[in-house]
């Protein structure tokens, strides 16, 4: 009778290599599960409309959106762009613009993402800058808004016209690249949906009655913007660090608002800047010497603020075409030996051309 030797029981963890492979397998399983969950959550949060959202426009007299078809696809895109909370807020600009897109503007025909979001962004701008949609913008205040021009260009929110034919909208190949809406009695807030106009090169809404904070998302998203003209409005808050996202900016014109805080050093990341006009705001602190790294800068106007200290010698070394600060008088708020114009505030507001000594506006 032969004896069979009992094989010793092997421990799966006995081999170091097997242990390493097991650990790797566990980590891979956990990572893939987490990624799948994240993907599912993102789809649910950003794309799938809830039952409440399907009834978005019921209060405005429209029906419930079915869970299929073109309107449903449009609603998915609008939710991803603005979020459910903004869309559900009764009579919000996003709510009004969405219902206009879904039920009044072609009845759900537009499903191309870029085209839909471009039109939605402009519709949101219209509702956000018109008092409860009770009055039209004041076309007659525009310098070139003659009857002939208005007839040729067309009014906003026309369902018969492409948005590139709306007044003040400039396009290239049917893509919005400019908004020239100065002195049109716009009031209210700039909506963050302007961030959807990613090809925008010029935004001009000066001389209106706009208020609030300049949307951070807009600043972070408009990387092709070259001209930002928000002067002569009622904007407040600080110049946020997201302005660094406007990497193509050449002119930053913000004078005549209520912008506070300090001049952010993030402006130095805008290497194409030629003009910085911050006149007549509520900026405080000192003028950052880092602005001297903007080698294309030609004009810097910071007078009529609450700035103090000395104009940095590094900025003086740039020999700008125009450099304006509150440097007038025996005890100026800002000491400046290189300014082209020196100003002072109340009680005797005035500016003097340094080269000629002549009082200027």
Task: Express each pLDDT in 182-215 by its tens digit.
Answer: 988 889 999 999 999 999 999 999 999 999 999 9
More confident residue, 231 or 155: 231
- Tokens 């609030």, residue located: 212
Give dist(CA 137, CA 143) in Å, integer.
Answer: 14
Count of other CB atoms within 10 angstroms of residue 239:
22
pLDDT above 90 (res 347) = no
Reported confidence tier of residue 336, pLDDT bands at 50, 70, 90: very high
Q: Where are the alpha helices (DSSP H) in 106-211?
A: 113-128, 147-153
At residue 51's C-alpha, the angle toward residues 49 and 52, to 5°, is: 95
pLDDT at 161: 86
Q: Report pLDDT digits (tens) over 37-94.
A: 444 343 334 568 899 999 999 988 888 999 999 999 999 999 999 999 999 998 899 9
pLDDT above 50 (res 351) = yes
Regarding beta strands 322-325 and 341-344, do their DSSP bridges make them parallel or antiparallel, or are they unpaired? parallel
pLDDT at 157: 86
pLDDT at 203: 98
pLDDT above 60 (res 135) = no
Give dist(CA 13, CA 24) in Å, integer.
Answer: 14
Least confident of 75-84, 133-142, 223-232, 250-259: 133-142
Kindly report the average pLDDT of the chain as a whole number: 85
pLDDT above 90 (res 271) = yes
Q: In what order do the strands lie in the sheet with 299-301?
A: 169-172, 175-180, 202-204, 227-229, 251-253, 275-277, 299-301, 322-325, 341-344, 350-353, 359-360
- Please report, rounded to a whole number, the percentage of residues in the chain having pLDDT higher than 90: 68
């Amino acid at each position: 009778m032969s004896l069979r030797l009992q094989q010793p029981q092997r421990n799966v963890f006995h081999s170091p290599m097997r242990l390493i492979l097991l650990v790797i397998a566990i980590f891979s399983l956990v990572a893939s599960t987490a990624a799948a969950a994240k993907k599912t959550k993102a789809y649910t949060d950003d794309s799938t409309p809830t039952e409440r959202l399907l009834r978005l426009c019921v209060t405005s007299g429209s029906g419930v959106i079915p869970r299929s078809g073109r309107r449903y696809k449009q609603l998915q895109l609008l939710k991803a762009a603005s979020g459910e909370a903004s869309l559900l807020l009764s009579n919000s600009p996003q709510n009004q613009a969405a219902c206009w897109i879904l039920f009044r503007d072609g009845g759900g025909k537009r499903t191309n993402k870029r085209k839909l979001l471009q039109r939605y962004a402009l519709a949101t701008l219209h509702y956000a800058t018109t008092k409860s949609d009770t009055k039209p913008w004041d076309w007659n205040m525009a310098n070139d808004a003659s009857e002939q021009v208005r007839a040729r260009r067309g009014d906003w929110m026309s369902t018969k016209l492409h948005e590139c034919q709306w007044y003040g909208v400039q396009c290239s190949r049917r893509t919005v690249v400019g908004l020239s809406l100065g002195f049109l009695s716009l009031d209210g807030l700039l909506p963050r949906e302007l961030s959807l106009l990613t090809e925008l090169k010029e935004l001009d809404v000066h001389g209106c009655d706009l208020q609030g904070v300049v949307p951070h998302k807009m600043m972070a998203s408009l990387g092709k913007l070259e001209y930002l003209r928000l002067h002569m409005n009622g904007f407040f808050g600080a110049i946020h660090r997201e302005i660094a996202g406007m990497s193509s900016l050449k002119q930053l014109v913000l004078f005549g608002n209520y912008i506070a805080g300090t001049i952010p050093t993030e402006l130095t990341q805008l290497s194409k800047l030629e003009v910085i006009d911050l006149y007549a705001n509520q900026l405080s602190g000192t003028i950052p010497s880092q602005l001297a790294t903007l080698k294309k800068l030609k004009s810097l106007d910071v007078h009529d603020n609450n700035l103090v200290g000395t104009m940095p010698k590094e900025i003086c070394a740039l020999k700008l075409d125009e450099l304006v600060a509150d440097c007038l008088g025996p005890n100026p708020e800002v000491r400046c030996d290189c300014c082209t114009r020196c100003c002072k505030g109340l009680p005797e507001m005035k500016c003097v051309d340094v080269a000629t000594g002549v009082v200027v506006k």
